[in-house]
């Protein structure tokens, strides 16, 4: 096993992060219906699990998952989320990386769990709805999106919802991981690509 990230690894990270972001955005279009806006991380976690599992099948070196999470964190900041997003993303990335490392990046089970842990980074995307960011965020939503949207959203997001969502996110990620593993087995193993 190599210990240093090669150019090939870095390019794999770039390519798969791009795919990940595209899939993430396509699946997040559902978010303009208020109820789904809260469940958004969960839905995305399931869909995004598929390319993520393919990415994991290419990971052999320590650091690849972490770098991906750093890039995703910056991306979320670029979309106007508050700065703790970056920390949440990197923390999720590192934990997922360590989990994978235990089994030397070879175990599918660990990959599925890792996909669950990794998808916690999406909580950062919903962060402005909770805690200290809540009031100003809803004020801006009220101004920008109107009362109907804001009231519906406000009613279904008390603070404890954040923790429920974390759990749901992990579950969604694991589901996505399972789905991804199934897809890999069905299509990519046969073609000798995973």
Note the residues at the interface with another protein (CB under 8 A): 5-8, 10-19, 21-23, 32, 47, 50-51, 54, 58, 63, 67-68, 70-71, 77-80, 128, 136-137, 139-140, 143-146, 148-149, 183, 187-188, 191, 193
Phi/psi of residue 130, nearest 5 degrees: -125, 170
Q: Is 5 exposed, middle or buried, given 0-12, 13-18 or 19+ CB atoms closer than 10 A?
A: middle
> 117 with 95: CB under 8 angstroms?
yes
Which CB atom, from 139 or from 160, has the smaller least distance to another protein?
A: 139
Is-contact 62 101, C-beta < 8 A?
Answer: yes
Min dist CB 169 to another protein, Å, is 20
> Closest CB to another protein among 146 and 158?
146
Least Cβ distance, residue 143 to another protein (angstroms): 4
Which residue, 11 or 167, is less far from another protein as judged by CB?
A: 11
CB 85 within 8 A of CB 124: yes
CB-nearer residue toward another protein: 1 or 78: 78
Tell me the C-alpha distance between 38 and 190, whole Å: 38
Minimum distance from residue 137 beta carbon to another protein (Å)? 8
Which SS3 state, helix, strand or coil, does residue 60 take?
coil
Please state the closest distance from residue 114 (CB atom) to another protein, in A.
Answer: 18
């Amino acid at each position: 096993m190599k210990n240093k990230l090669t150019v090939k690894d870095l390019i794999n990270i770039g390519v798969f992060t791009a795919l990940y972001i595209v899939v993430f955005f396509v699946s997040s279009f559902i978010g303009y219906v208020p109820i789904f806006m809260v469940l958004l991380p969960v839905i995305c976690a399931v869909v995004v699990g598929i390319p993520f599992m393919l990415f994991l099948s290419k990971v052999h070196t320590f650091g690849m998952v972490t770098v991906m999470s750093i890039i995703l964190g910056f991306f979320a900041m670029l979309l106007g989320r508050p700065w703790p997003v970056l920390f949440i993303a990197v923390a999720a990335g590192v934990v997922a990386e360590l989990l994978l490392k235990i089994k030397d990046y070879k175990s599918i089970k660990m990959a599925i769990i890792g996909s669950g842990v990794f998808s916690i980074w999406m909580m950062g995307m919903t962060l402005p709805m909770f805690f200290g960011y809540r009031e100003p965020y809803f004020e801006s939503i009220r101004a920008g999106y109107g009362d109907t949207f804001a009231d519906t959203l406000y009613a279904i997001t008390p603070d404890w919802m954040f923790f429920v969502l974390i759990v749901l996110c992990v579950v969604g990620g694991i589901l996505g991981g399972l789905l991804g593993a199934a897809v890999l087995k069905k299509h990519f193993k046969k073609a000798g690509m995973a």
